[in-house]
Amino acid sequence: MSVPSFAQGEPYSELERYTVTAIRPNYDETLSLIFPQYEFDKSSLVAPLNTNDVLLQSPSVSLNGQGGQIQSISIRGYSRWRIQTLLDGVPIVSDRRAGSSIGFVPPDFIASATVLPGAASTYLGSGAIGGAVNLHFGEIQTPHLRVGYSSNQQMKALSYAGSTRHADNSNSLTEESKTDWNISYRSADNGEDANGNSLLDQFEQTGLFLRHRPEDSVIKEAWTLYSDNNDIGKSSSDFPESRITTYPDNTHWLGKIAFESHLFTGNVWWHKSSLDTSVLRPESRINDSENKAFDYGFNISTDTHLKDWDLNWQLQVTGRDGVVADEREFTLTLKESALPDTTPPSFIINAFEPELAYEVRTLDASEITSAAVADASRQWQSLSLALGARVDWQRQSDDSGANTFQSSTAKTNINLSGYLGANYQLSEHWAAGMYVSSAFRNPSLTERFFAGETPRGTVLGSLKLETEQALNMQASVAYSSEQLQGSIEVFNQKIDNYIERIMVAEDVLQYSNLDSATIEGVSYQLSWQSHNDALDARLSGMWISGEDNLGNSIADIPANSQRLDLGVQWQAVRFFTVFAYRASKTDIADGERALDEVFTLDMGADWQLNERIQLQASWRNLTNQQYYTSADDKAAFAQGESVQLAITYLL
């Protein structure tokens, strides 16, 4: 399934970039009636270090938590397990408390992205209580070879794209293509912040993407992606004195099959993942963990008409199997032969001998979910109305057989969600809309069934947890003309039964429902382009605040931010500049630090040298600003200035 397009870029009415050859999901058509939808691409990016760079062009998206290649994001202040990340409609689920990351996907595989802020459970289920992001693969292109380089991390990137289609005399691919592929390899050393201090953000990544589109078949598209990531650093302020966290291995194998007939459309998808984590506390201990999971899903939908109403129906089945987490702790014992004046890191590696302290399986669980979704829409001249509802059933099971702190090892959840939206065309160029949606989030398998020792002490799940519930309200005003398009959204979202870990005894934590919280704010975007497309500009930003029912600040609320993108097309060269302003943040929650205001400047150029060669260059953080990537008190500084270079050769 695909998520509704809602990101800040070019207006959706002007630029549609769906890559699946089957028709758009029916609900996508429904939502397009009640609020403006946007999509953005990589036209102002050169060799992005992380796929998150594509998403950060949306004012609703911010970096969250600690840094590195698998850093997570937030949408309008919601993060971790409360937002849904999708890759061409395939949900990316993680058992990390920090939430899922799309960093395992090589940026060269991604052409554009969309963002759906606000409660989105009606179509996407439990994981989208705070919104969702969806990344889209590029259309089949002329085969090419691309080489990239980034100076700060000494990053080297190489990718090759191919296709079974042949080029015609105009160097355009013919339509009888059946198969295309993309291979990517990237490696990077540790970068530096603006003051020259080392950051633990190294990584090595190998990816393979393969897609097939049959002719005259019920199956319209089938694709698979494999990604192998090694020696990933977690960029943290703890590095290197108190803690060094690395991910030695992170693998993903996923795919999707899209089918269509004259009666229905549907998808089948799967995702097998594993993540190894190693936490070294110098001269103390090492904690190693291994997480594995197999996720799968199926959906089928159809549409019909009832008088003047368009009706859509969808059935969904998703599941998680073999969700396992194993942890080992090693005590570091000083070798008798060690020299006292040995210096790190050789001192840590050579002077201490690891000794196994304990080994425990902290999670072994599974879940199955089924849902029915229906929506309806209608237009009366200047008024458009859309509504939808979802019935969701889920069963979660503890498969370890050793959960002694619970009286039962399974939990069943039944939830309802829905939305109602209206849009009124005020004039030829102006429109106003209202959107109200409810959402839910069932406790994750970790929150239900995790039981074991962790670096923070003993952590226990709880079958007594209640489902988080949210209500989202949004009002928008949009303007659209030939050269100027934009919208402003005012939003308010309240969440009840907020789940967090609390101390229940000395060195014992347990997941529990806390009080309610409210997040509210304003976001906007404005895009302009000249008549001859030689000049373009986009201005976007967000003001946001969040607090619990006692008036205390809640975690993960980003600082207010504004962004200006400028582009100039001069003959065969496109120049672009990005001005970004992040305001200071002093209203912080536990586990956060105050942030100073920061202004950053990026600039670059894209030059089509001839029919086959394209040159790209950019200069990130040109003024070498020193600032934290997020308000997390363990977040490291951002990378200092960096030059990116790339060359693409059409084969």
DSSP 276-330: EEEEEETTTEEEEEEEEEEEEEEEEEEEEEETTEEEEEEEEEEEEEEEEEEEEEE
pLDDT above 90 for 341 = no
Number of domains in the chain: 1
Q: Does 513 map to a domain?
A: yes
Residue 234 tokens read as 């977690």
The whole-number pLDDT of residue 26 equals 57
Amino acid letter, 12: Y
Q: pLDDT grade, residue 14 (50/70/90)?
A: very low
Q: Say if 4 falls within a structural domain.
A: no
Indicate whether 434 belongs to any domain.
yes
pLDDT exceeds 50 at position 5: no
Tokens of 504: 């229940």
The answer to the question of residue 5 being in a domain is: no
- Phi and psi at 351, nearest 5°, equal -90, -15
List C-alpha distances in Å: 529 to 427, 430, 526, 576. Answer: 22, 18, 10, 13
The percent of residues in the chain predicted with pLDDT above 90, rounded, is 52
Answer yes or no: is 442 within a domain: yes
Asked if residue 192 is part of any domain, the answer here is yes
Does residue 622 carry a pLDDT above 50?
Answer: yes
Cα 220 from Cα 21, distance rounded (Å): 6
The per-residue pLDDT for range 428-454, each reduced to its tens digit, is 999 999 999 999 999 999 889 888 766
pLDDT in tens, 494-525: 999 988 878 888 778 888 888 888 999 999 99
Contacts of 227 (CB under 8 A, 6+ apart): 104, 105, 106, 205, 206, 207, 208, 250, 251, 252, 253
Residue 22's CATH number: 2.40.170.20
Over 60: is that where the pLDDT of 546 sits? yes
What residue numbers bound the domain in which 274 lies? 10-650
Is 401 within the bounds of a domain?
A: yes
Q: Is residue 3 part of a domain?
A: no
